[in-house]
Amino acid sequence: MTQSIPRPTSEMTNRETAFVLELNSLSCKDLPLVGGKNSSLGEMLQQLTPKGINVPDGFAPRPMPTATLSKREILIPNCGGCLKALMSRM
């Protein structure tokens, strides 16, 4: 059975709201979005790969504020179960 790959939505491709960005699309200008290490890796990919120096490709998870997570209904629904599990171990 073949599994279909979902098409990217505008939210998934919007750099400001995406949860993950590809390293090869990042540069030092993206420091506020993904932090120093990830933006530096993106910059190295862009600058060194054409010169024959291998830099591993990958992805950069973006830090998300709690308000964004709860707004997307990721954090809030899972908190209750996590708290109950923690409390049962005490």
Question: Is the per-residue pLDDT at 90 higher than 70?
Answer: no
2 occurs within a structural domain: no
Hey, which residues does 22 pair with through a beta bridge?
Answer: 59
40 occurs within a structural domain: yes
Structural domain boundaries, residue 65: 10-88
Number of separate domains in the chain: 1
4 occurs within a structural domain: no
How do residues 53-79 score in pLDDT, each as one tens digit?
Answer: 998 888 888 876 555 555 555 555 556
Q: Is 59 exposed, middle or buried (0-12, 13-18, 19+ CB in 10 A)?
A: middle
71 occurs within a structural domain: yes
**Nearest CA-CA partner of 48 in 62, 20, 21, 27:** 27
3 occurs within a structural domain: no
Distances in Å between the Cα of 12 and the Cα atoms of 7, 16, 65, 79, 85 are 9, 9, 17, 25, 32
5 occurs within a structural domain: no
How do residues 6-54 score in pLDDT, each as one tens digit?
Answer: 444 544 457 777 778 899 999 999 888 888 999 999 999 999 999 999 9
67 occurs within a structural domain: yes
